[in-house]
Amino acid sequence: MRKRPCHSPQQQVSDSGTPPAKSTSFFMALIPCRECSKPVSTEAAACPHCGAPTQRPVPPPLPVKTPPVPKEDIIYSDNLVAVTSTRVVIGGTTYALRNITSVKMASSSPDFIGPVCLILFGAFILFLTLIPWSPQNYKPVLGAVLGGGIIGLAILWMCRIKPRYHVGIASAAGEIHALTSKDQAYVERIVLSVNEAIVKYQ
């Protein structure tokens, strides 16, 4: 009697000529039900014991990457003004460099109204001294000294008045005088620093 050859499980085939399907086992984690505390598969939509829907674990949020802060180069700085690669700070007011279209130095003429009025008052006193209102008590020297002194003080005041210089910053909204000073060299340094920042970093 012939013996039928034995085949290993890998060599055995079904009667239809196709190899048998391999069995696959799935391993599912069990978590306690939030209602009845009985074990429930993480793949189940609801608890088979009490019917409560399962709460799938929420993945942790993705880390948010903050953009790097651009490095700010300081071009000019003092107690009142700071000019950097991104902004211009004058007297506590900040102007974004990207919004500045141009900068220039402007000047305004000195105001001589006060000294001129004082000169006219002194001239009026001198005029009064020329009129002998009372020939007996006529003392033109006192009036001349008083009027001449007033005129001299007015002239000295006029000589000490200097023009004012301004840092004019122009943007899309218009032009403003961001800083006013009697020091022309100081205003020129600020204007040159802002122009340098515009050329390099805009």
Count: domains in the chain: 3
- Do 96 and 171 have their domain in common? yes
Mean pLDDT of 33-39: 82
Token pair belonging to 11: 């060599």
| Alpha-carbon span 196 to 70, nearest angstrom | 19
Same domain, 84 and 106: yes
Distance CA 97, CA 200 (A): 11
Q: Does 48 lie in the same domain as 128?
A: no
Residue 8 lies in a domain: no
Exposed, middle or buried, 26 (CB in 10 Å: 0-12/13-18/19+)? exposed
23 part of a folded domain:
no
The answer to whether position 146 is within a domain reads yes
> Is the residue at 9 inside a domain?
no
Q: How confident is the model at residue 45 (pLDDT cuts 50, 70, 90)?
A: confident
Q: Within a domain: residue 118? A: yes
Q: Is residue 22 part of a domain?
A: no
Among 48-52, 90-94, 191-195, which is the least confidently predicted range?
48-52
Do 148 and 172 belong to one domain? Answer: no
**Structural domain includes residue 70:** no
pTM over 0.75: no
Instruction: Examine the domain organization and report whether 171 and 155 are in the same domain.
Output: no
Domain membership flag for residue 48: yes
Q: What's the pLDDT tens digit per position in 149-185?
A: 999 999 999 998 889 999 999 998 899 999 999 999 9
Q: How far is CA 179 from CA 98, 130, 182, 190, 202, in A?
A: 19, 49, 10, 9, 22
Range of the domain at 168: 78-110+163-201
Is residue 91 domain-shared with residue 126, that is, in the same domain? no
